[in-house]
Copies of this chain bind each other. A is one copy, B any other.
Amino acid sequence: MSGPHHDTGPDGGQALGPQQLGAYFALMEAVSMLQHQVEQQLRTEGDISYVQFQLLARLATADGPLTMTQLADGVVYSRSGLTYQAGLLEKAGLITRGPSPDDERATLVAITEDGQALFGRVLPGHTEVTHRLLFEPLTDDDVHHLGDIMTRVRDHMRAQPPRSAAPRKRRPSPVSSPLPSAQA
């Protein structure tokens, strides 16, 4: 058993072994395919994108309204992207945006009944696709391993310091993600 060795290679770079290359490629391709299929399903059944689904999911499982910043965390990389998507969702009547009583510069976002209804309508299909494509060929043991491995990787990545200076101060309030968060 070897530990998590990460020696710097003799050539200055880190060479990836065949085992690692295979894992890397399979991982990226499989996730890419899964994402694509999930998008198809969400578009077909609910006419929403994966990003919009994630936003609805966050709002549906949150206790109350969220600010734009809280909502964006882990779903999109830019605030402007969230502004755009929130505009679409609001226009569709799935969410509402209103000023915060405390901070008038903040915008509180809440899910509407239509939004919850839509979320409930597409969730089974989402689950079905995920199950059929991802979990069907896996044993319980595999799932356990996968979760353990990817959780460790994710936490490791989160702990990595940003390569460049933070353009703006980050909000260190990591909310327990009850729903899919694509990235931080």
A contact residues vs B (CB 8 Å cutoff): 1-6, 11-16, 19-20, 22-37, 40, 44, 46-49, 74, 77, 88-89, 91-94, 114, 117-118, 121, 123-125, 127-128, 130-147, 149-158, 160, 163, 170, 173, 175-184
Partner of A181, one of B3, B114, B143, B170: B114
Q: How far is the CA of A151 from the CA of B138 in the complex (A)?
A: 11
Neighbouring B residues of A155 by C-beta, 8 Å: 137
Q: Are B154 and A24 in contact (CB under 8 A)?
A: no
Partner of A183, one of B3, B26, B36, B175: B36
Neighbouring B residues of A20 by C-beta, 8 Å: 131, 135, 143, 147
CB contact under 8 A between A177 and B137, given known A28-B182, A142-B149, A184-B121: no
Q: How far is the CA of A180 from the CA of B112 in the complex (A)?
A: 14
Neighbouring B residues of A94 by C-beta, 8 Å: 179, 181
Neighbouring B residues of A30 by C-beta, 8 Å: 150, 153-154, 157
CB contact under 8 A between A138 and B4, given known A26-B151, A91-B177, A179-B88: yes
Indicate how many identical chains form the complex. 2
Q: Are A182 and B32 in contact (CB under 8 A)?
A: yes
Q: How far is the CA of A44 from the CA of B137 in the complex (A)?
A: 38
The 3 tightest CB contacts between A and B, nearest first, are A13-B124, A23-B147, A92-B179
Q: Are A182 and B29 in contact (CB under 8 A)?
A: yes
Q: How far is the CA of A123 from the CA of B5 in the complex (A)?
A: 18
Q: Are A13 and B92 in contact (CB under 8 A)?
A: no
Q: Are B149 and A33 in contact (CB under 8 A)?
A: no
